[in-house]
Each structure stands twice: as structure tokens, then as C-alpha cells.
Chain A
């Protein structure tokens, strides 16, 4: 049973480009969470999705950021018109239940905006 898969592991974008980060949850998991880790900080919640539904996006910036978790395929975190401040590690976690007594994390995507 493969773990949570994120790709790419590293992503370099120029300012103004779009970044697409992908997350495939563990088999049987229908709850996906995205977190952002800035240097010297812990992880901050961004968005929580179930299949085809955004349940809680209160941690996501209002502009330029969007997320989806389609019926088929991975969850996508999309950042439009990236800026230097978007440089961070983005982690996806999945769980089998919302109560989240054990969320499994992917290895993250490290986004660098140049």
C-alpha cells in the first residue's frame, strides 16, 4: 500500500507563473489536507477536501490559491501568478476519517519562486 504521493518533489517557478502541486492520498483515504511550511515555522493548515468537495478553505489565501480533489485523480493545489513569498514546502496529508486520529503525510513539494 503506497503512502501519500506528492509530485513534483521540487518545483521552480518564475514570478508570475503558475504552480500546480499534486497529491495522491493513500488507498482508501477520502480526506485530504494541505499544509504550508515556511522556513523556521511549523506547518499551517490551508485547506481540507473530500472527494469533489472543498470542506474548509479558511487557511488558504483568498487570491491566487485554489484546490480541488476530483472524483478521479489526485488532489491539486494551484497557485496562480506566484510571488517570492509563496516559496515554501507544501505538504499533503490524507486520512480515512475526518476525526483524523492518524493523518499520513506525503514528502512534500518544495516550491521555489525565482
Chain B
């Protein structure tokens, strides 16, 4: 079974500071991993994804994430926060196993990022 834990439901940073959003996953098979961003009353937009290629993944808006199998982590980072980064961020895992749950996304509870001027 797959599951995702996002540590910290709320993270606050100053504009220009490092952003670090934590995600740990549990998966019995090699996973696909995703980070999505959700702005108020909007749908989910894909930031980046890991699909078993390079372990350091670069996404849109300057975000990147590193897949660490030994730590079962996929933390999201951005060197310098911008006011427009304020949103809710979701980590998700999908199974690459060709079983009944293939394609299903399992989401964490989300982390609300606040950026102070």
C-alpha cells in the first residue's frame, strides 16, 4: 500500500528565504512521486514529478525535489521564496506496480505555505 506524510501543515517563510516542505512516503513498490500546488479555489497544478529517472527533479517556478530512497523522502525546496509562492502544496505517490491500484494517486494532507514580505 502507498501513503504519504507531509510534516508540518503550515510553513511560514520570509520573502527571499529558503523554502523546505517535507514529504515522506511509504510504498511497497517503486513509486512515482509528485508535488502539486493549489491556489485558493483552484485545481491542482503539477510542480514536478519523479518517475525513476534522475533523483534530483527540477520543476516549474524554481522548485526542485530530491528523491532519497534510503530515507523514503521527497522534500520540496526553493532557494528563494516569492510572495506568489503562497499556496497549499500537496505531495502524492502513485504506484508503478501493474496491480489494481495502478494510476491511483495517494495524497498527503497538504502544507500551507505563507510568505511574509
Count A-side interface residues using an 8 Å CB cutoff: 30
User: Contacting chain B: which of A13-21, A62-70, A77-85, A97-105?
Assistant: A97-105
- Kindly report which residue of chain A lies nearest to residue B32, judged by CB atoms: A101
Give the distance in Å from the alpha carbon of A84 to the alpha carbon of B53 in the complex: 44
Q: Are B44 and A91 in contact (CB under 8 A)?
A: yes
B43 touches A105 (CB 8 A): yes
For window 7-50 of chain A, which residues contact chain B by CB distance below 8 Å?
31, 33, 35, 40-45, 48
Which residue of B42, B100, B105 is within 8 Å of A107 (Cβ)? Answer: B42
Q: How large is the interface on B (under 10, 10 to 19, 20 to 34, 35 or more residues)?
A: 20 to 34
Interface of chain B residues 76 through 117 with chain A (CB within 8 A): 90, 92, 94, 96, 100-110
Q: Is the CB of A95 within 8 A of B44?
A: no
| B90 and A45 contact, CB distance less than 8 A | no
